[in-house]
């Protein structure tokens, strides 16, 4: 941003302004079942056929399909019978429910929960707290009470987390040699109030970014106390650069932590400081180049 071209015509600014429109097009096509239908059909379909089978208007569906073509989520072929649409390879892999790498569930969580919270981003910045009370009528002091406000919402949230893990988990778990650890605990549940079982390695996947520094120190102290000598803790988090200049995705995640939780994204040094304050040492950091990175501390 800031190039001569942008100063003459604000292409970057215009792209940023329409960014949420792009997201909603992809979310809507997923929610309506466009990508699933085209995969199951085994052949390209017309907009009229897709609209009829999905129970939508023909005019609305045609515009949605054309927008997906523009986003390279669909491809179109013009024939004598008219335009025929098919999935692109990336849509078959990541946007169909049946794919093992499907991102459908996390997108539905973003569309139906995160999107609503971001409507109140300005309020979150003014107040410095999450916006669940405005959005869902749930106390802002109980962010997980909002995420788990019904069994259906809890299942949606967990399915969304599994979606992301399907494309990031292998890189995180292979970041370090974890073979010496025989007893591993993937920490979840009400870990502030419940006891933590004894183990050699604790995996805290996307947990600390939900909480402020004081609660992180409290939790890590409990983990350290329960951890066997020679054991450790593996943090799975999206790491900011040390000067917090990026990555952009992590900066946006940190904004999302503001509107949805009590926490924030942190740098490797900040996580290392939290681990050391709890007693862990020999802290190692591995950036995966994908959504989530790995930080390992030893007792």
DSSP reduced 3-state for 228: strand
φ and ψ of 273, to 5 deg: -65, -40
Residue 91 and residue 103: Cα distance in Å, rounded?
A: 10
- For the cut 90, the answer to whether the pLDDT of residue 6 exceeds it is no
Segment 94-135, tens digit of pLDDT: 999 999 999 999 999 999 999 999 999 999 999 999 999 999
pLDDT at 147: 67
The average confidence (pLDDT) of the chain is 93
Distance CA 224, CA 230 (A): 11
State the pLDDT confidence band at 253, using cuts at 50, 70 and 90. Answer: very high
Mention every residue, 6+ apart, whose C-beta is less than 8 A from residue 15. none
Could you report the per-residue pLDDT of 46-77, keeping only the tens digit for each? 999 999 999 999 999 999 999 999 999 999 99
- DSSP assignment of 92-114 equals HHHTSTTSTT--HHHHHHIIIII
List, in order, residues 6 or more apart from 200 with CB less than 8 Å away: 180, 181, 182, 183, 184, 227, 228, 230, 231, 232
Radius of gyration of the chain (CA): 22
- pLDDT value at residue 169: 87
Cα separation, 202 vs 11, in Å, equals: 46
Residues 172, 165: Cα–Cα separation, whole Å: 9
Give the separation between CA 124 and CA 109, rounded to whole angstroms. 20
**pLDDT tens digits along 134-190:** 998 888 777 776 666 677 777 777 887 888 888 888 999 999 999 999 999 999 878
Nearest-5° angle of CA 208, CA 211, CA 214? 100
Q: Is 209 noted as a catalytic residue in this protein?
A: yes
pLDDT bin (cut points 50, 70, 90) of residue 3 is: low
Q: Are 295 and 284 in contact (CB under 8 A)?
A: yes
Contact partners, residue 147, CB within 8 Å, separation at least 6: 113, 153, 154, 157, 260
Cβ-based neighbours of 248, under 8 Å, separated by 6 or more? none
Query: Could you tell me the two tokens for 129?
Result: 């707290």
Q: What pLDDT band is residue 2 in, cutting at 50, 70 and 90?
A: low
Classify residue 216 by its DSSP letter. Answer: H
pLDDT at 157: 77
In this structure, are residues 220 and 233 in contact, taking their beta carbons and an 8 Å threshold?
yes
Distance CA 233, CA 297 (A): 5
CB 220 within 8 A of CB 280: yes
Alpha helix ranges (H) inside the chain: 4-8, 11-17, 19-32, 34-41, 47-54, 58-70, 89-94, 104-109, 115-118, 121-127, 132-136, 143-147, 151-173, 213-226, 248-260, 268-278
Nearest CA to 144 out of 204, 211, 195, 216 is that of 211
Banded model confidence at residue 86, pLDDT cuts 50, 70, 90: very high
Catalytic residue among 209, 222, 264, 266: 209
């Amino acid at each position: 941003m800031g190039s001569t071209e942008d100063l003459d015509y604000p292409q970057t600014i215009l792209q940023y302004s329409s960014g949420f429109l792009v997201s909603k097009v992809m979310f809507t096509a997923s929610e309506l079942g466009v990508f699933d239908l085209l995969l199951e059909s085994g052949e390209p379909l017309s907009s009229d056929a897709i609209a009829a089978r999905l129970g939508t208007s023909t005019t609305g569906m045609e515009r949605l399909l054309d927008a997906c073509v523009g986003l390279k989520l669909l491809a179109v072929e013009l024939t004598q019978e008219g335009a025929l649409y098919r999935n692109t390879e990336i849509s078959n892999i990541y946007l169909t429910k049946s794919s093992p790498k499907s991102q459908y569930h996390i997108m539905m969580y973003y569309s139906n929960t995160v999107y609503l919270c971001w409507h109140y981003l300005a309020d979150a910045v003014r107040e410095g707290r999450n916006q669940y009370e405005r959005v869902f009528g749930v106390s802002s002091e109980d962010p997980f009470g909002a995420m788990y406000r019904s069994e259906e919402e809890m299942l949606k949230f967990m399915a969304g987390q599994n979606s992301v893990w399907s494309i990031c988990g292998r890189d995180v778990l292979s970041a370090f040699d974890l073979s010496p650890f025989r007893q591993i605990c993937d920490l979840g549940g009400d870990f502030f109030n419940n006891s933590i079982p004894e183990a050699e390695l604790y995996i805290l996947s996307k947990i600390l970014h939900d909480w402020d520094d004081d609660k992180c120190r409290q939790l890590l102290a409990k983990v350290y106390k329960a951890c066997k000598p020679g054991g450790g803790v593996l943090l799975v988090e999206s790491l900011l650069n040390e000067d917090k200049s990026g990555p952009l995705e992590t900066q946006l995640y940190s904004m999302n932590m503001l509107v949805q939780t009590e926490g924030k994204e942190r740098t490797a040094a900040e996580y290392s400081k939290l681990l050391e304050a709890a007693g862990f040492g020999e802290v190692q950091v591995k950036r995966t180049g994908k959504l989530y990175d790995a930080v390992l501390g030893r007792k």
